[in-house]
Structure 1
Amino acid sequence: MTVALEIAVTSPAGALVARDAGADRVELCVGLELGGLTPSQALVEATHETGIPAHALVRCRPGGFTYDDDELALMEREVRTVLRSGAAGVVVGALRPDRSLDEDTLRRFVDAARSVSAHAEVTLHRAVDHAADPVATAARLAGLGVTRVLTSGGAANAPAGADTIARMVDAAGPVQVMAGAGIRPDDVAALVATGIAAVHLSAKRPVDATGHGGVPMGSGDDGSAHTVTDAGVVAAARRALDAA
């Protein structure tokens, strides 16, 4: 089985770097430092024009994965919007207060996606790693119309969660399991051995910034550099996958 390489990007420029360095697809979001948030319609359109398949994250706010009715209605609309704007798929997820998978919401997102395109792919994001039992959650996905699940195996990073990821592969059946979080190219071979269908990297590097001159733009603004997609990291991950 060929293991796919997915790169998380926040711009069309990042998508181009990922494409040219050997990625198979990208996950598109904004606010990567917050875990990722829904990209704008224009950002999805511009990234689609690069030619690499882009799966848009649909997450209306940072924080946990239990949402109220207004948030769910907004994300359902965002699912349709990003797909109409050229996304090849969506990346979604929701949990109940008891940290079980919110299957009703996931079905709602899947139905919204397939109402736009019968071929739209749907990925369950790392909400699965906040679930009470990631392996049991993976076992429930086959009947929900989900294409794949992105996971660190419930650990802080995918290499640390490799044993759980292997169990999730066994439990998920036809649903693809994609390892992500804290992956370096040197980790790829060991993760491929778990039976995963894809690896997911942010492959980012900081860009020097002049700072904000002591006038922060928000509580999370420390004046540090923003990040861009590193072609060297993407290419190294591609080589590691090809050699695995």
Structure 2
Amino acid sequence: MTARPALEIAVTSPAGARAARENGADRVELCTALELGGVTPSAALVEAVAAEGLPVQVLVRCRPGDFVHDAEELDLMAAEVRSVIASGAAGVVIGALNADGTLDVPAVARLAEAARSAGRPVEVTLHRAVDQSADPVATAALLPSLGLTRVLTSGGAPSAAEGLATIAAMAAAAPGVDVMAGGGVRLGDIPALVSAGVGSVHLSAKVRAPRRPGGTWVPMGAGGTSAEQDTHFVTDPGVVARARRALDDLA
């Protein structure tokens, strides 16, 4: 029997991890600054989310923007990998590209080795740098030789539904690697994604938190152009529960 596809929820807090666990998620991906595509969380946040009980995959990304990293950034991310694993992460979510859009194999291998240096089993996921690579299928084909656990992808498209054919080709090109569909996934997309061969489905399941005014509002960086937009995202328990049901209905 084919294994049931796993449900991973992107979270930014212990409350988000609880909502994911209580509504049927199999694991969470933890980051901060989800509004910017996510960056590495603090060690204290990793510890707090790990205490909620689900396996925690931690995004290690030292800054927003592109995925071409210099030596100093790679040094920092290698240290961050070791830190989050020591803080209780079950795995890390990493990635790096060369300027020509190919996978930076030495960088990815180095970050994966940093994760495994803890001396216990850990999972290593290639993040959506794959979707900005010159050839997502060719990139996926490299992953078995690197020993990576999974790859998070929209098939190089704005959403996973639009990248369905590429996702299927990636699954065929990377035997033994869990190809996880993520990026604009809607509940109605789940049957087609599973039919394409994905082993996991990733949702942010996010909703804007209501703003709690603390006085006069002024714009501060990337927070938005109005007080209504200047909030953060939280996990919607209802979306998690409906995604769980959608996956279970396919079993």
TM range (shorter): over 0.9
Question: What does residue 191 of structure 1 align with?
Answer: 193
Instruction: Spell out, residue by residue over 1:107-150, the C-alpha distance to the aligned partner (whole angstroms, 9 max, x if none).
Output: 10111000014411000000000000000110111010210000
Indicate whether 1:229 and 2:235 are aligned.
Answer: yes
Q: Using the alignment, how far apart are the partners of 2:212 and 2:144 within structure 1?
A: 49
SS at match of 1:179: strand
SS at match of 2:107: helix
> Which deviates more from structure 2 when the two are superposed, residues 8-17 or residues 115-124?
115-124
Letter in 2 for 1:14: G
SS at match of 2:117: helix
Aligned length in residues = 244
- Alpha-carbon deviation of 1:219? 4.1
- Alpha-carbon deviation of 1:24? 0.1
Indicate whether 1:215 and 2:218 are aligned.
Answer: yes
Q: Using the alignment, how far apart are the partners of 1:52 and 1:118 within structure 2?
A: 17
- Alpha-carbon deviation of 1:184? 1.5
Q: TM-score, length-normalised on structure 2?
A: 0.95
**What is the Cα-based RMSD across aligned positions, in Å?**
1.1
> Which deviates more from structure 2 when the two are superposed, residues 225-234 or residues 96-105?
225-234
Question: What does residue 44 of structure 2 align with?
Answer: 42
> Which deviates more from structure 2 when the two are superposed, residues 72-81 or residues 199-208?
199-208
CA contact 2:6–2:201 (8 Å) conserved in 1: yes
Question: What does residue 96 of structure 2 align with?
Answer: 94
1:137-176 mapped onto 2 (5 Å cutoff):
137-176=139-178
Q: Using the alignment, how far apart are the partners of 2:222 and 2:88 within structure 1?
A: 33
Distance change >3 Å, CA 140–CA 75, structure 1 → 2: same
SS at match of 2:121: coil
Q: Which runs of 5+ in 2 are unaligned?
A: none
Q: Using the alignment, how far apart are the partners of 1:117 and 1:36 within structure 2?
A: 27
CA contact 2:34–2:233 (8 Å) conserved in 1: no
Aligned residues: percent identity?
Answer: 60
- Alpha-carbon deviation of 1:234? 0.2
Q: TM-score, length-normalised on structure 1?
A: 0.97
- Alpha-carbon deviation of 1:210? 4.5
Q: Using the alignment, how far apart are the partners of 1:131 and 1:178 within structure 2?
A: 17
Aligned partner (choices 237, 242, 246) of residue 240 of structure 1: 246
Q: Using the alignment, how far apart are the partners of 1:219 and 1:232 within structure 2?
A: 28
Question: What does residue 125 of structure 2 align with?
Answer: 123
Instruction: Spell out, residue by residue over 1:90-114, the C-alpha distance to the aligned partner (whole angstroms, 9 max, x if none).
Output: 0000000101000000110111000
Instruction: Spell out, residue by residue over 1:40-76, the C-alpha distance to the aligned partner (whole angstroms, 9 max, x if none).
Output: 0000000011011110000000000001111000000
Q: Using the alignment, how far apart are the partners of 1:185 and 1:158 within structure 2?
A: 12
Q: Using the alignment, how far apart are the partners of 2:249 and 2:6 within structure 1?
A: 13
- Alpha-carbon deviation of 1:209? 1.0
- Alpha-carbon deviation of 1:227? 1.7
Distance change >3 Å, CA 115–CA 82, structure 1 → 2: same
Aligned partner (choices 67, 77, 80) of residue 78 of structure 1: 80
- Alpha-carbon deviation of 1:226? 1.9
> Which deviates more from structure 2 when the two are superposed, residues 45-54 or residues 183-192?
183-192
Letter in 2 for 1:236: R
